[in-house]
A and B are shown apart, each in its own frame.
Chain A
């Protein structure tokens, strides 16, 4: 199936890809921290409405990340020193189970923010552009990841070098879409944000 027919997306030319990558990578080097709101839509074909959750995300170089849901419930997950700390509505825990999956999620979020995405050995990468955004599509190469991810789309608005939207499509065709809003680059973030 040719997706470009349906979505008004064009493949980027080789020269465009080179300059796009260079810009993102260069700008990413200047990112010391990032703070943003997000809205997450979980789409399942058999439901009448997507499931909407929202919250805030904090990132600080080199590898501090807090992914925090505030609506409709409180749940936050902190990645720090290669450990995962969870605060589930006040109940705290440190997670080892499923850590492989969390590690991948962490790598993907940090990677898409810091621009370390493009030489990933685990994904085949294709570059597209629409009217107002560059779209990077990652398809997993390994059987392990293929089991739960079919494709990841990252949207970079034309005048921005960080991701504004992530869409994660599962093998079933169901997907999760995350939209970032009110992004602040290099704002001061206290280290206490990364304790759960």
Chain B
């Protein structure tokens, strides 16, 4: 019994400590030190999406709006379908300002989670430390504070299709992109692995 427990604990230890690696990917020569996500880079475009936020079984619907307002800063607004503003943030890589947040949403965990998600979604320049590839994608690895972001660029059309945020050992957040060009994503999903949170964004065109 003790032996069984030892084996179990040992294997648990080994499995949980296995460092995170992208499946079936092999290292490539470091041909660049920077990766650009251009999906929210145009300062002339109003990025407007129908948004659905599923959080622990509850569903919140509304409109997600983003605009690049300077070289470094994006403005992000989330409203209800009726137009009432629920949150209004300004954020860049290092700065963060809350212009408005509705009382019900004004919880530290909500604000910080959305701030980090939006920052990752909107940030353009990412330093690259390693490059990998698999059959479909070139994968750029970028250190971001205590975590790592992996940017998956399709080999066929050079578009960003996925970002995986991972700790040293496991995946935390997966962002998926469907796009018709390298500068605009029509459909975006942000799926959290450690909390039950999923954000879906579908482009609205008037």
Chain A residues 45 to 68 lying within 8 A of chain B, measured CB to CB, are 46-49, 51-53, 67
Which residue in chain B gives the minimum CB-CB distance to A88? B61
The number of inter-chain residue pairs (CB within 8 angstroms) is 72
Which residue in chain B gives the minimum CB-CB distance to A43? B83
Contact, CB under 8 Å: A44 / B77: yes
Q: A47–B46 Cα gap in the complex (Å)?
A: 6
Task: Report the interface size for chain B: residues with CB under 8 A from the other chain.
Answer: 32
Flag whether B94 is at the interface (Cβ < 8 A).
Answer: no
Flag whether B48 is at the interface (Cβ < 8 A).
Answer: yes
Contact, CB under 8 Å: B88 / A172: yes
Q: B81-92 interface mask toward A, CB cutoff 8 Å, 1 = contact, 0 = none? A: 111110010000
Flag whether A170 is at the interface (Cβ < 8 A).
Answer: yes
Contact, CB under 8 Å: B205 / A72: yes
Task: Report the interface size for chain A: residues with CB under 8 A from the other chain.
Answer: 32
Q: A49–B52 Cα gap in the complex (Å)?
A: 22
Contact, CB under 8 Å: B59 / A93: yes
CB pairs A–B below 8 angstroms (15 shown): A40-B83, A51-B63, A51-B206, A52-B206, A53-B81, A53-B204, A72-B50, A73-B202, A86-B61, A91-B52, A93-B59, A98-B60, A147-B103, A168-B83, A174-B85
Which A residues have a C-beta under 8 Å from some C-beta of B?
40, 42, 44, 46-49, 51-53, 67, 69, 72-73, 75, 77, 86, 88, 91, 93, 97-98, 101, 105, 147-148, 168, 170-172, 174, 176
